[in-house]
Amino acid sequence: MIISKKVEKALNEHLILEMAATYNYLSVASWCEVEGYEGSAKFFYKQSEEENTHFMKFFTYINEVGGHALVPALKKPKYSFKSIQEAVEMALAHEQKVTKAIYKIITLAKEEGDHATEDFLRFFVDEQKEEEVQFKRILDKIKLIGGGPQSLYYVDREFERLAAAATGGKKKKDKGEEN
């Protein structure tokens, strides 16, 4: 076994956060779609897919390094929001929670002398920084332009632009090109 039981346990506990993000974003996407925020729905569907990919990376890593990945039980996500701002605030708070959890696992891996897990988690440190910055910027824009109908239209268009950019960026990454 490459990883210790402590690291294996921490990684399995982290699976809950990754899958919860998948479900949270899927729930937000559905709410956006029902409310007529088509661009926002596209963005949050993409976020859900990305979080599911992260979940699978953790899941397969645990097994790959001699642990046993366990499928987590989850609570039902929130499915109704007062506003798109509330949904984005929830997303930012969850991403901050994920970041803290990853940092704790890195600290544990260092204590356990688990260099493989430290190396594996470097990708997620960068990814979390990007996620937090992105949601903070979106929240700042929402606060800047307000919550009127025309403002909401602009916010929805911005989400659609971000979703399109994420798709384009992913295709470049898959081909090994720079963004």
Q: Is residue 24 part of a domain?
A: yes
Q: Are 118 and 106 in contact (CB under 8 A)?
A: yes
- The whole-number pLDDT of residue 166 equals 80
Q: Is residue 176 part of a domain?
A: no
CATH of the domain at 34: 1.20.1260.10
Q: Is residue 76 part of a domain?
A: no
Q: Is residue 132 part of a domain?
A: yes
Summarised one tens digit per residue, pLDDT across range 78-95 is 999 999 999 999 999 999
Number of domains the chain is built from: 1
- The whole-number pLDDT of residue 171 equals 44
Expressed as residue numbers, the domain containing 39 is 5-70+81-171
- The whole-number pLDDT of residue 172 equals 42
Q: Are 31 and 138 in contact (CB under 8 A)?
A: no
Main-chain dihedrals φ then ψ at residue 113, nearest 5 degrees? 70, 30
When pLDDT is cut at 50, 70 and 90, the band that residue 177 belongs to is very low
- The whole-number pLDDT of residue 174 equals 42
Residue 179 predicted with pLDDT over 70 = no
- The whole-number pLDDT of residue 147 equals 72
Summarised one tens digit per residue, pLDDT across range 100-155 is 999 999 999 999 999 999 999 999 999 999 999 999 999 998 888 887 777 888 88
Q: Is residue 75 part of a domain?
A: no
CA distance 42 to 156: 10
Q: Is residue 147 part of a domain?
A: yes
Residue 9: CB atoms within 10 Å: 14
- The whole-number pLDDT of residue 169 equals 52
